[in-house]
Amino acid sequence: MLRYLTAGESHGPALTAIVEGFPSGVAIDKTFIDRELERRQGGYGRGKRQKLETDRVIIDSGTFHGVSTGAPITLRLINNDAKLERLAEPASPRGGHIDLAGSINYQTGIRQVLERASARETALRVAVGALARLLLRAVGIEVFGYVSELGGIAAPPLSRDLSVRDASPVYTLNPEADVAIVAAIDAAQKAGDTLGGVVEAVVTGCPMGLGSHVQYDRKLDARLAAAVMSIQAIKAVEIGLGVEAARRPGSKVMDPIQFDPDHAEDDRRFGFRRPTNNAGGIEGGTSNGEPIVVRAFKKPISTLAARGPSVNMATKSPTPASYERSDVCAVPAASVIVENVVAFEIASALVEKYVGTSLEAVQAALAAIHTLNRQHLASWGEEQASG
């Protein structure tokens, strides 16, 4: 089982993740992980904190001469803005944050809970996801993410093109969209307000058969939804057509099935084709070989420079919510986070299905199961013919 835990406070000395169940034999490309961390720090609308931090991963365990050993991998990030013990207790909780419910839940001050709830933790999730992608890449699976909407403004189709991402290592938005979207972010900042948006992640090269239909907690769509929903400020998740499917007749939702004999040997789909992908690559909790499409909806940042209505915790009298500093918009960062969180869940399903002790074992199991599937399909034909 591939799993991880994260630890660390936003302004503590460091953030740490332990990734357990990662196969041996994977070359750990630290530069790739750092590049993903850099992408997460980019994007228009972020606050001053990103100028203070330079996220670079430190790998403390689980590798030998740069190759994974199968032992737990410890990933660590240093916080440059480490000042936890010097920070003041906020006087008034912010609506939309953990401040009120968390400090009552844990019988602490607000500071203790906000430090852990902070999306600073998403730096680790990106590091963990990037690690997982090194495994995915070794078996031909790629994941990419992008902003599809920001502050109610649709990003033009160009930004959905894979090549745009390649051309822009620290992904923001495409230049045409920037004009309207950057202006909207500027206007929000001026008004002391914030903006949310929609991001999408697409997984390509995923074989048919990850996840399962037999039990609720093995369904790939459910696992992806839970993982993406756990990201700070993500309030809804869709797979494929998502919510829109509920509004259409069945004929406009279900993806027709076709067969192309020229691709019957294709290890991913065995020649079965779909002219549409409304299912977003998952049917009955199982990947069907089409690209997996996950859409995440991020609410606007809750900490408002204009300070939302709240109460003073000591006096209970009306007082504007506390404000220190904050992002105005973190939607581009969310696209990188969602992309890497999705990658981890795909890697976890892969390791679960294909004997995940070593990369070679995963590759051998993939090949063996593909052969088995082809034989199954061929014998099916024979049975039909003889029957």
Ligand X SMILES: Cc1cc2nc3c(=O)[nH]c(=O)nc-3n(C[C@H](O)[C@H](O)[C@H](O)COP(=O)(O)O)c2cc1C
Ligand Y SMILES: C=C(O[C@@H]1CC(C(=O)O)=C[C@@H](OP(=O)(O)O)[C@H]1O)C(=O)O
Give the binding site for ligand X (CB under 6 A).
47, 96-98, 117-119, 122, 231-233, 299, 301-303, 326-327, 330, 333-334, 337
Kindly report the number of other CB atoms within 10 A of residue 380's CB atom: 10
Q: How far is CA 306 from the centre of its chain?
A: 30
Do residues 173 and 180 touch, judged by C-beta distance below 8 A?
no
What would the two tokens of residue 80 be?
């440059």
Among 6, 8, 9, 10, binds ligand Y (CB under 6 A): 10
User: Residue 334 binds which entry of ligand X, ligand Y, none, with Cβ cut-offs from 5 to 8 Å by kind?
Assistant: ligand X
C-beta of 97 vs 268, nearer to ligand X = 97
3-state secondary structure of 328: coil
C-beta of 138 vs 305, nearer to ligand X = 305
What ranges make up the beta strands (E) of 100-173?
142-150, 153-154
Residues in CB range of 341: below 8 A, 6 or more apart? 125, 129, 227, 228, 230, 231
> Of the listed pieces 118-126, 186-194, 213-221, 266-274, which binds ligand Y according to CB under 6 A?
118-126
- Angle between helix axes 122-138 and 30-41 (nearest 10 degrees) is 140
Distance of closest approach, residue 232 Cβ to ligand Y, in angstroms:
5
Q: Is 118 labelled a binding residue? A: yes
Nearest to 203 by CA among 281, 138, 149: 281
C-beta of 96 vs 109, nearer to ligand X = 96
Q: Is 116 labelled a binding residue? A: yes
Distance of closest approach, residue 302 Cβ to ligand X, in angstroms:
4
User: Residue 2 binds which entry of ligand Y, ligand X, none, with Cβ cut-offs from 5 to 8 Å by kind?
Assistant: none
CA dist 48 and 152 (Å) reads: 25
Q: Is 303 labelled a binding residue? A: yes
Interacting residues toward ligand Y by CB under 6 A: 10, 47, 49, 53, 118-120, 122-123, 232, 324-327
What residues form the annotated binding site?
Answer: 40, 46, 116-118, 232-233, 284, 299-303, 325
What residues form the annotated binding site for FMN?
Answer: 116-118, 232-233, 284, 299-303, 325
